Amino acid sequence: MSLNVLITGGAGFIGRHLSQQLAADGGLVTVLDNFSRQIHGSKPPPTHLSYVNRLIVGDIRDRIVVEDAIKGQDVIVHLAAETGTGQSMYEILQYEGVNINGTAVLLDCLLNDCHRTAKRLVVASSRAIYGEGAYSCAVHGTVYPGARLVKDMELGAFEPRCPVCNHFCQSIPTSEVAPLAPTSFYGLTKQVQEQMVLMFAKTLGIAAFALRYQNVYGPGQSLQNPYTGILAIFSNLAREGKPINVFEDGQESRDFVYIDDVVQATTACIYSDLVGSHRFNVGSGLSTTVLQVAKATVAHFASSSELTVTGAFRIGDIRHNTASLFKVASELNYQPKWSFQEGLTAFLHWAKQEGASSEGYERSLVEMRSKGLLLGEGTR
């Protein structure tokens, strides 16, 4: 299908894969990206990308750049954002500026451009907007705990408590009707970003989709950005034979979703006939513990890295997450195709060919300790 599609942040991990798929489908893709050093390194930005029709090197907060980028577009996919729960807790103005102000600039341009052609808007939201998400209490059924207590975690009690009876409770899949209660500033900015897009899309009279991505991974993700996830961190440490320290008790879990499945869900929104505003979880529907990931990574590389479960914890982290996929399966016919084992193997095979450096991760730990955001055993 021939569509003109603008992807903000389109040179990033998800954006590159999405651009390539849309180009293969016959779309004309424009990418707007500022080539952040934290993600792309210190190399100068390219002058073109082979799989896109037009590359614009610029900032989502620059109104002149954004006004130019939206011209003639049928669809806008808004991926441009700062990511990382830990970093967001001290780089507050940076996260506010890019995630919230950048989105405001995009929407303001759309609202005030009399020649606007976009009929569909997709925004990358995040499961972080749920905070802890849904849990089951033996007494009160489905509940939604708030942020965990530092005094509990200092004693090694990492599970959330029921907000009614204060007993520990068990994680269950979180659906789109769950209340929004982010525990990190990153999560809060994604919540505001999502709500802004859906609100103003209604004003514009265009279809809008907020995709609540879970933990996205796969070949091509940044290995030098310490805020892109534990798979990149563990693969770097394992290849260098350095110790791998696992936070909490290692039983914290995540819903890891492979990049191809994320592209599947995103393109489904782009080509969908749905009108109005929609919110969808995009995940695998399954959870994997952090300790399982660490062990599998060390085994894949036959690494000499020593695994230690430290009991340390980060302020703003959640304990578990698993996405309910009922809504996205019903309305977009989305079904994840990649198992975690298949996806992890593909990612680690790719990572093996790339350079490994854990310096950025080690710096990030120093920063978090200095801000009082990394606590517990093993933080010294």
Four-residue CA torsion sign, 101, 106, 109, 112: negative
Determine whether 213 is an active site residue.
Answer: no
Predicted pLDDT of residue 379: 43
Predicted pLDDT of residue 316: 87
- Mean pLDDT, residues 233-237: 95
Task: Given the residues 130, 135, 144, 186, select the one marked as catalytic.
Answer: 186
Both tokens assigned to 137: 């209490």
18-45 pLDDT per residue, tens: 999 999 999 999 999 998 888 787 677 7
Q: Judge whether residue 355 has pLDDT over 90.
A: no
User: Could you give the C-alpha distances from 104 to 64, 195, 269, 317, in angstroms and in order?
Assistant: 14, 11, 22, 27
Predicted pLDDT of residue 357: 79
Share of the chain above pLDDT 70, in %: 98
Work out the burial of residue 350: count CB atoms within 10 Å of its CB; fewer than 13 is exposed, 13-18 middle, 19 or more buried: middle
Predicted pLDDT of residue 312: 96
For residues 7 and 14, what is the distance between their CA atoms, to the nearest angstrom?
10
Residue 362 confidence class, pLDDT cut points 50, 70, 90: confident
CB 281 within 8 A of CB 127: yes
Residue 380 confidence class, pLDDT cut points 50, 70, 90: very low
**Mapped to the 3 state alphabet, what secondary structure does the chain carry?**
CCCEEEEECCCCHHHHHHHHHHHHCCCEEEEEECCCHHHHCCCCCCCCCCCCCEEEECCCCCHHHHHHHCCCCCEEEECCCCCCHHHHCCCHHHHHHHHHHHHHHHHHHHHHCCCCCCCEEEEEEEHHHHCCCCEEECCCEEECCCCCCHHHHHCCCCCCECCCCCCECEECCECCCCCCCCCCHHHHHHHHHHHHHHHHHHHHCCEEEEEEECEEECCCCCCCCCCCCHHHHHHHHHHHCCCEEECCCCCCEECEEEHHHHHHHHHHHHHCCCCCEEEEEECCCCCEEHHHHHHHHHHHCCCCCCEEECCCEECCCCCCCCECCHHHHHHHCCCCCCCHHHHHHHHHHHHHCCCCCCHHHHHHHHHHHHCCCEECCCCC
Q: Judge whether residue 256 has pLDDT over 70.
A: yes
What is the separation of C-alpha 43 from the centre of its chain, rounded to a whole number of angstroms?
A: 24
For residues 164 and 171, what is the distance between their CA atoms, to the nearest angstrom?
16
Supply the mean pLDDT for the chain.
Answer: 94
What is the separation of C-alpha 320 from the centre of its chain, rounded to a whole number of angstroms?
A: 15
Q: Judge whether residue 51 has pLDDT over 50.
A: yes
For residues 107 and 86, what is the distance between their CA atoms, to the nearest angstrom?
27
What is the separation of C-alpha 379 from the centre of its chain, rounded to a whole number of angstroms?
A: 25
Q: Judge whether residue 344 has pLDDT over 90.
A: yes
111-159 pLDDT per residue, tens: 998 778 999 999 999 999 999 999 999 999 999 999 999 999 999 999 9
Predicted pLDDT of residue 1: 59
293-313 pLDDT per residue, tens: 999 999 999 999 999 999 999
